[in-house]
Amino acid sequence: MTFFKFEADFVEALRCIPMQVRLKLDTCGIKLKLQDWNHFTQTERQTIVELPCLTSAEIIEYREQLNQVLIKHTGKSGTDLVIDLNPPWMDAATIPESVTAKAQEFDLTITLAQWKALDAIERFALIKLSRSSHENKNFIPALQEFKVIE
């Protein structure tokens, strides 16, 4: 399991949705609201964190398990998301504009060599943290943690 240091203030109690779960949600095509996550028991949250979601069979199982927990607590399945077959975090050769723009807000430049050196989940985190709809306070701590800046 990969938890980032910038998630440390909430990851122990799993009061927010960790990046590794967000990646799994995008992979299996389900939107999960924080208010729904907060209805889950600690054990259910831990299970959702630990379940694998890489192979086709695992993705199907993850989706089914998550929907079971959602139905139990909310009475309905999760909202479907379109699954990107070529997600930008898997493309080490192209830095997404949102990431470049967010870095420029801090007078920073992320080089292609730095982007390529990141793991897919690190690229995923930077993409999520650079979105205008996301609270971006962890963008700089993530860049520091990933050794993009000091």
Q: Residue ranges per domain, the chain?
A: 5-80, 88-145
- pLDDT for position 29: 97
3-state secondary structure of 44: helix
One digit per residue, the tens of pLDDT, for the chain of length 150 reads 578 999 988 877 788 899 999 999 999 999 999 999 999 999 999 999 999 999 999 999 999 999 999 999 999 999 999 999 999 999 999 999 999 999 999 999 999 999 999 999 999 999 999 987 666 789 999 999 999 998
- pLDDT for position 134: 63
- pLDDT for position 135: 65
Q: Provide CB contacts within 8 A for 132, sequence distance 6+.
A: 98
Give the DSSP letter of residue 4.
Answer: -
Give the DSSP letter of residue 88.
Answer: G
| 125, 4 contact by CB (below 8 A) | yes
- pLDDT for position 10: 80
3-state secondary structure of 149: coil
Amino acid found at 141: P
| Rounded distance between C-alpha atoms, residue 16 and residue 133, angstroms | 16
Kindly report the CA angle at 131 between 126 and 136, in degrees rounded to 5? 70
**pTM (2 decimals)?**
0.91
